[in-house]
Amino acid sequence: MVAQFLDHVAVEYYVIRDSEDLNTSQQQIFAVTLWSIWKHRNNKVWNNVVETSQQISERAEAFLNSWKSAQKIQPRIQVPSVQHESPCWTKPVLGRFKCNVDAAFSNSLNRMGFAACIRDAEGNFVAGRTTFLSPLLDVEMGEAIGLLQAMQWAKELNMVSMDFETDSKIVADSVYKGNGVSDFMAIIQDCRHLLMTDLVNSDVSFIRRQANGVAHSLAREALSHASFHLHLNIPHCITTLINNERL
């Protein structure tokens, strides 16, 4: 079934390629179909998941529709006027919260650790969250997943006035001006969607690693955890950092 579908795509490619009336719609559907086939291949190799041609086609169409919607409303997302590049962590303004996000990577464990730490305008610890994912992915993909998880968590907590900070400049920049068709951009599109719907009063900023020490320490700690952790009290590994940055 899938083989027949791939043959159909190949035939369609040569028809489109040789046509003098190549239109944008054909280019778009062909591009996302190739991406969906590539994702199917990865699912089969790494997760032993076999999909039908209908599932491959539906995923491609869904991603294309999502991408088109994002292009229409993307101008509504404005790049924050202040990009925090100070070597020191700074408190959010009164009435807002700050969520620092980071990911850690372990080749030996073949996993990624994710962490998010929320603090208030006084610098007080509000809550922390750690989890992990296996197998290991590239750095940009891992950092993007970490940001998305933190944003989904903020949505669940109904904390809509949130300043998200990440030390991945690629991820922070892509949220506001990235484009393309890839697994990485699919995650970024989900982040954009949250910013344009449930988190309209939130933003994403890049900060230096030195100012993201709390999230970085938590992410490294997450690598050794056996499951998801929700921290309502300050974890021991970041107590000193939290107290110093609160001054």
The domain segmentation of the chain, as residue ranges, is 2-76, 97-246
List pLDDT tens digits, range 72-117. Answer: 544 445 555 445 456 799 999 999 999 999 999 999 999 999 999 9
Query: Is the preceding omega at residue 135 within 30 degrees of 0, hence cis?
Result: yes
Separation between Cα atoms, residue 175 and residue 160, nearest integer Å: 17
Q: Report pLDDT for 30.
A: 75
List pLDDT tens digits, range 174-199. Answer: 999 878 889 999 999 999 999 999 99
Beginning with the edge strand found earlier in the chain, give each strand of the sheet holding 229-231 in spatial order: 203-206, 162-166, 97-106, 111-119, 125-133, 229-231
**For 129, phi and psi rounded to 5 degrees?**
-145, 130
Fold for 97-246, please state it. Answer: Nucleotidyltransferase; domain 5 (3.30.420)
Cβ contact 116:128 at 8 Å: yes
pTM above 0.75, yes or no: no
